Chains A and B, each alone.
Chain A
C-alpha cells in the first residue's frame, strides 16, 4: 500500500544515512554534492532533524561557499508547530535554502505581531508563516441560526487579516498565509456541503475569502486544503494528536508539509528550476525509435501505454506554456531521434517546443552541462526526466544539483511524479513567464559533445558483472531474438534462424559468444552476441551485436579481449572485422577503429573491412568483474 504522506519522486533513504549526515556535520571541509545527495532522499522526521543539525553545524559553509540562500522564517501558530520547525532546515537543503526558524510564543500571535518591539518582531524575519487551526478560529462547531455562520467566518477572516497586516506593516516581512484543511467528520453527512453553518462549508468560505480578501500580491499562500485533500482527509486529520499535543495534522504529514513550504520559500528567493530535460525512448514514447521504428513505438492509438505518453506530452506542453523550458537529451542517432517529432501523427511536442535537442551517445551528465551552458542557466536549474534508472543514477552522482525524479515502470505515473515533486513551484505568473520558453528557444543552438566526466569512476560504481560464455541451448531463443531484432549496434545485421544458431553451437570452425551483464541495479540479461569464423591464421567477425542499453559500459572491449585471447591461444595472428552499413547502424561505423583495428579496405555499398594484429594487442583493464562461464547449464536468461 502506498504511503499517503510519501514522496515517491525522491529516492528511499539508505541505511547509512545517519552515518553520512554525521560525517558531513563534523568534517572541516564539507562537500556540497554530498549535502545535496543526502537532502534528495525521502527523509522522515527524525532524519530531517539529523540533517537540520548538519545545517546548524555547517551554516557558514552553506551560505558563504555553497551559495544556498539564507532565509529567516517566523512562525505564528495557534497550535504545535515545533515539529515543522525541526523539519524545515533539513528540508531547506533540498531546495538550496538555509532556513532559520523562529517560533512565536504559543498563543501569543497578537502580542508578537502587533507590537513592533516584541522579541519576535525584532528578529529581522524575512517571512512570517501565519498558521491557525480551524478549531482556534471558531469554525469547528455547527452554526444554525440566521447570519451566525457569516459572522463566524467574518470573525476568522478579520483575525487572520489583522495578523497579516501586522506582518506586513509592523514586522515588515513577507506574509505567508494558509488555507484550512476541512475536518473529516461531517455533522449531517452530504448535507454539510449545502448547510452554510457546517464546519466544512464555513471553512470552504473562509478559504475563498482568504484568497480574495486577505492575500495581497506580495503574500505567499500555502494551499494546505489542497495538500490535505491530496493526502486524504482521514489520514491528514488526527484527532488523537490534537488532543495529546495540539498537532494540527498527523505528525507524519510534517516532511511533506515542510517540503511544500520550502518550495514556496525557494521560489520567493529565486531558487527555481527553469528547464525540464527529457529522455525520448520509453519516456516521451513507448519503445525504442531506433529499433522499433516509427510504426513500432507506442504513442496514442488507444493503447494504454501510448495514451499515457500522449498525456505526458500534453502536460509537458502545459508546463512550457507557463514558462518551463523543454530540452531533449537522448542516447540516439540525432536523425533517428527527430523522426517522431516530424512524422508521428500523435506527437504533441514538436521540434519547435524543444529549446535544445541533444541526441548522441555521450554520457548524459555531460550533455546536461551542455544544455545548461547553451541556455546560459545553471545546472541547478535543471530537472531531468528519464525512465532509465542507470541514467538517473549517473546524473545524480555527477550532478547532484540536478533534480532527478524517481519514476515507476508505468508511464501512467510520470505526470503525477513530475507534478507533485513541485519542481516548478511559482509565486506568481508574469508576462515574462509566458514568453520565456520561446525566448530561450531563440537563443539556444544545438551542439555536439565529446567531453567525458569522471566516467571511469562511475562505471566502477556500477559494480558490473559480465558473464561471457559459448552459445548454449538455454540461451538459444534469446540469441536468435537478438540476432533478428538488433538494428543499431549491429556490425553486419546478418539474421539467423534458431536452427542455424543451434548448428553454430557445435561448429568447431566458429567462435560463438553470448554476454550477460548485471550491475547494482539488476540483471540486464543477455546483451551481446558475437560470432567469429576461425581460419588457421585469421579469425573473421561474422556477427557482433549489442543492446544499446549497455552502450558506453566498455562491454565491447571485454568482447575483444575474450576473442583475442581465444584466437591467440589457437595460434591465429590477426582478427578481421567487417562493417556492413544499414539505415540504422550508423552508430557503429567507427566500431572497429575505436577498438584499435586498422582499416583494410572498402566494400561495395559503403562497407569497410578492418584488421587487428594480435601481436600489437594489449588487453585493457576493465571496470567490471568478468566471469567466463563455459558451463552451458549455468546460462539461464531472465531478460
Chain B
C-alpha cells in the first residue's frame, strides 16, 4: 500500500478520534494544529492507529513523534494490514 493510501487511512482515524470532519492530512500536522488533540486523545489516537494498521508502537516510537508525518513513517514501515 502506498504512502498516500496509508495517509488517507490515517486521516480517517484522526477525523474519528479528534472529531474533526474536514481534517486534511499533511506531514507537518501536529497536536497544536488540531483542536481536539490533547494529551488524552493522543493516547487514544495512537491505540486507534495500532488497531487500524495491525501493529504495536514501541515506547521509543511513542516518545519520539513530533508530527503526523513521523507517525506515518512508522506506519509505512510496520503496518501489517
Q: How far is the CA of A46 from the CA of B15 in the complex (A)?
A: 11
CB-based contact B59/A240 at 8 Å: yes
CB-based contact A243/B44 at 8 Å: no
Chain A 77-94: CB-based contact to B (< 8 A → 1; otherwise 0)? 000001100100000000
Chain A 22-58: CB-based contact to B (< 8 A → 1; otherwise 0)? 0000000000000000000000011001100000000
Query: Which of the candidate stretches A107-115, A133-141, A245-253 sits at the interface with the other chain?
Result: A245-253
CB-based contact A83/B40 at 8 Å: yes
A residues less than 8 Å from B48 (CB atoms): 46
B residues less than 8 Å from A82 (CB atoms): 40
A254 to chain B, nearest CB (A): 9
CB-based contact B17/A46 at 8 Å: yes
B residues less than 8 Å from A241 (CB atoms): 43
Q: Tell me which of B16, B43, B59 contacts A46 (CB under 8 A).
A: B16
Q: How far is the CA of A243 from the CA of B63 in the complex (A)?
A: 11
CB-based contact A46/B44 at 8 Å: yes
CB-based contact A244/B47 at 8 Å: no
CB-based contact A245/B43 at 8 Å: yes
Question: Which residue, of A83, A243, A244, has the highest number of chain B Cβ atoms within 10 A?
Answer: A244
CB-based contact A45/B44 at 8 Å: yes
Contact A83/B44 with A46-B16, A46-B17 known, Cβ cut-off 8 Å: yes
CB-based contact A244/B59 at 8 Å: yes
Q: Tell me which of B44, B59, B62, B63 contacts A251 (CB under 8 A).
A: B44
B68 to chain A, nearest CB (A): 18
CB-based contact A244/B62 at 8 Å: yes
**Using a CB-CB cutoff of 8 Å, which residues 33-52 of chain B contact chain A?**
39-40, 43-44, 47-48
Q: How far is the CA of A46 from the CA of B45 in the complex (A)?
A: 10
Chain B 50-81: CB-based contact to A (< 8 A → 1; otherwise 0)? 00000000010011000000000000000000
Interface size grouping (class) on chain B: 10 to 19
Contact A243/B47 with A46-B16, A83-B40 known, Cβ cut-off 8 Å: no
Q: How far is the CA of A486 from the CA of B78 in the complex (A)?
A: 57
A residues less than 8 Å from B62 (CB atoms): 240, 244
Q: How far is the CA of A241 from the CA of B47 in the complex (A)?
A: 10
B51 to chain A, nearest CB (A): 8
Residue of B nearest to A250 (CB): B47
**Using a CB-CB cutoff of 8 Å, which residues 150-193 of chain A contact chain B?**
none
CB-based contact B16/A247 at 8 Å: no
Q: Tell me whether chain B's interface is mostly helix, strand or loop, or mixed.
A: helix
Residue of B nearest to A243 (CB): B59
Q: How far is the CA of A50 from the CA of B15 in the complex (A)?
A: 13
**Using a CB-CB cutoff of 8 Å, which residues 240-293 of chain A contact chain B?**
240-241, 243-245, 247, 251-252
Q: How far is the CA of A240 from the CA of B43 in the complex (A)?
A: 11
B residues less than 8 Å from A49 (CB atoms): 19
Q: How far is the CA of A82 from the CA of B38 in the complex (A)?
A: 12
Contact A251/B43 with A240-B59, A243-B59, A244-B62 known, Cβ cut-off 8 Å: yes
Residue of B nearest to A247 (CB): B43
Q: How far is the CA of A46 from the CA of B43 in the complex (A)?
A: 12
A residues less than 8 Å from B63 (CB atoms): 244
A residues less than 8 Å from B59 (CB atoms): 240, 243-244
A571 to chain B, nearest CB (A): 63
A residues less than 8 Å from B17 (CB atoms): 46
Q: How far is the CA of A50 from the CA of B36 in the complex (A)?
A: 13
Residue of B nearest to A254 (CB): B44
B residues less than 8 Å from A50 (CB atoms): 19
B residues less than 8 Å from A251 (CB atoms): 43-44, 47
Q: How far is the CA of A86 from the CA of B19 in the complex (A)?
A: 14
B residues less than 8 Å from A45 (CB atoms): 44
Contact A244/B44 with A46-B16, A46-B17 known, Cβ cut-off 8 Å: no
Residue of A nearest to B17 (CB): A46
Q: How far is the CA of A78 from the CA of B49 in the complex (A)?
A: 27
Q: How far is the CA of A377 from the CA of B40 in the complex (A)?
A: 43
B residues less than 8 Å from A244 (CB atoms): 43, 59, 62-63
Question: Which residue, of B16, B43, B63, has the highest number of chain A Cβ atoms within 10 A?
Answer: B43
A residues less than 8 Å from B39 (CB atoms): 245
Question: Which residue, of B17, B39, B44, B59, has the highest number of chain A Cβ atoms within 10 A?
Answer: B44
A residues less than 8 Å from B16 (CB atoms): 18, 46
Q: How far is the CA of A86 from the CA of B40 in the complex (A)?
A: 10
Residue of B nearest to A50 (CB): B19
* 15 residue pairs bridging A and B, Cβ less than 8 Å apart: A45-B44, A46-B44, A46-B48, A49-B19, A83-B43, A86-B40, A240-B62, A243-B59, A244-B43, A244-B59, A244-B62, A244-B63, A245-B43, A251-B44, A252-B47
B residues at A contact (CB < 8 Å): 16-17, 19, 39-40, 43-44, 47-48, 59, 62-63
15 more contacts with CB within 8 A, not counting A46-B44, A245-B40, are A46-B16, A83-B40, A83-B43, A240-B59, A240-B62, A241-B43, A243-B59, A244-B43, A244-B59, A244-B62, A245-B39, A245-B43, A251-B44, A251-B47, A252-B47
Q: List 5 A-B pairs, minimum CB-CB distance, nearest first.
A: A245-B43, A82-B40, A251-B47, A240-B59, A244-B62
